[in-house]
């Protein structure tokens, strides 16, 4: 999907040359970021802007820094001369989460923004839900029975709630037991502000080889 210009999709002949518009490619990228309602990858953005992924990644990094106040330069000022000038951050930030880029209001203004954004306010998870989510996040794909075994309690209703909240999802069935396996969703990554589950913090270092425990488990399963 890389080479097809966005203009064509819209039913116009020529793909627009983003460089010729005021503000150039950087402003065009900003314009697109204004209308996306879910994170977009650099590749998707590049395809839409008819630019290479490398160029788009460079622009995204620039914008991110600029919004964070690392450079106070106006977009057309020579970048070498003013790079590193520190200004105050903007009220929003550009973040790369779950593989996609998106604009967020800055966390410092949470109290103020919350007053304007009623929807999307999510109730906090209970301790039981958090622990179940943690086990699933670190052991995915995993069956409810396995999560129950680790937590020592029945987790059925908690798993249902986590699914409804969009934090976990069905990822097929275990070929042996036929049990449904669960994994975390990209919405979970988004809520955690990370790019992939590999970025989750390490489990306590003093936990003796978890692999060994898994074997114990299977032996001791009911």
Partner 1 sequence: MALSTVTDEFIKYIKGLQQLGEEWALDEASEFLVIAATLLDLKAARLLPAGAVEDEEDIALLEARDLLFARLLQYKAFKQVAGMMGDTLDLEAGRYPRQVALEGHFAALLPELLWRHTPEQFARLAESALKPKEAAPTEVGLAHLHGTPVSVKEQAEILGGRLRAGTPLTFRALTADAESTLVVVARFLALLELFRDKAVAFEQLLPLGDLTVRWTAGAEGWSSDHLSEEYEEQP
Residues 178-207 that bind partner 1 (CB under 8 A): 178-180, 190-194, 199-207
Q: Annotate each residue in 23-42 with x if it binds partner 1 (CB under 8 A) or - if it does not, as one string.
A: ----------xxxxxx----
When asked if residue 177 is in the footprint of partner 1 (CB under 8 A), the reply is yes
Of residues 169-188, those binding its own copies (CB under 8 A) = 169, 178, 180, 187
Among its own copies, partner 1, none, the one that 202 touches (CB under a kind-dependent 5 to 8 A) is: partner 1
Rounded CA Rg of the chain: 23
Binding mask 80-99 for partner 1 (x = CB under 8 A): ------------xx-x----
Instruction: Find the shortest distance in angstroms from Cβ 80 to its own copies.
Output: 17
d(C-alpha 31, C-alpha 190), whole Å:
22
Q: Which two tokens stand for residue 197?
A: 């589950």
Residue 76 in tokens: 């057309």
Within residues 45-84, the interface with its own copies by CB under 8 A covers: 45, 47-49, 69, 72-77
Specify the 3-state DSSP secondary structure of 128: helix
Q: Which stretch binds partner 1 (CB under 8 A): 56-64, 67-75, 83-91, 174-182?
A: 174-182
Minimum separation from the CB atom of position 219 to partner 1 (A): 9
Among 70, 95, 99, 104, binds its own copies (CB under 8 A): 104
- How far apart CA 27 and CA 19 sit, in angstroms, is 10
In terms of Cα–Cα distance, which of 203, 197, 218, 211 is closest to 145?
218
Residue from 63, 74, 76, 78 nearest 30 by CA: 63
CB atoms within 10 A of CB 127: 8
What is the maximal distance between C-alpha atoms in the chain? 68
The verdict on 213 binding its own copies (CB under 8 A) reads no
Q: Which stretch binds its own copies (CB under 8 A): 134-142, 162-170, 193-201, 202-210?
A: 162-170
Contact 187, 167 (CB under 8 A): yes
| 119 touches its own copies by CB under 8 A | yes
């Amino acid at each position: 999907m890389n080479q097809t210009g966005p203009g064509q999709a819209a039913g116009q002949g020529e793909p627009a040359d983003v460089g010729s518009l005021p503000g150039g490619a950087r402003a065009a990228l900003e314009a697109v970021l204004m209308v996306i309602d879910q994170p977009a990858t650099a590749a998707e953005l590049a395809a839409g802007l008819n630019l290479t992924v490398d160029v788009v990644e460079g622009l995204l990094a620039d914008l991110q820094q600029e919004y964070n106040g690392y450079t106070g330069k106006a977009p057309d000022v020579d970048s070498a001369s003013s790079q590193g000038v520190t200004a105050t951050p903007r009220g929003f930030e550009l973040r790369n989460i779950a593989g996609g880029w998106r604009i967020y209001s800055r966390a410092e203004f949470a109290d103020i923004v919350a007053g304007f954004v009623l929807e999307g306010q999510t109730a906090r998870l209970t301790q039981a839900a958090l622990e179940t989510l943690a086990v699933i996040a670190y052991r995915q794909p995993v069956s409810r029975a396995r999560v129950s075994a680790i937590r020592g309690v029945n987790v059925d209703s908690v798993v249902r709630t986590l699914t409804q909240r969009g934090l976990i999802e069905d990822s097929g069935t275990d070929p042996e037991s036929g049990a449904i396996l669960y994994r975390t969703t990209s919405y979970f990554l988004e809520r955690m502000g990370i790019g992939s589950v590999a970025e989750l913090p390490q489990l306590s270092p003093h936990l003796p080889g978890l692999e060994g425990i898994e074997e114990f488990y299977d032996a001791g399963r009911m």
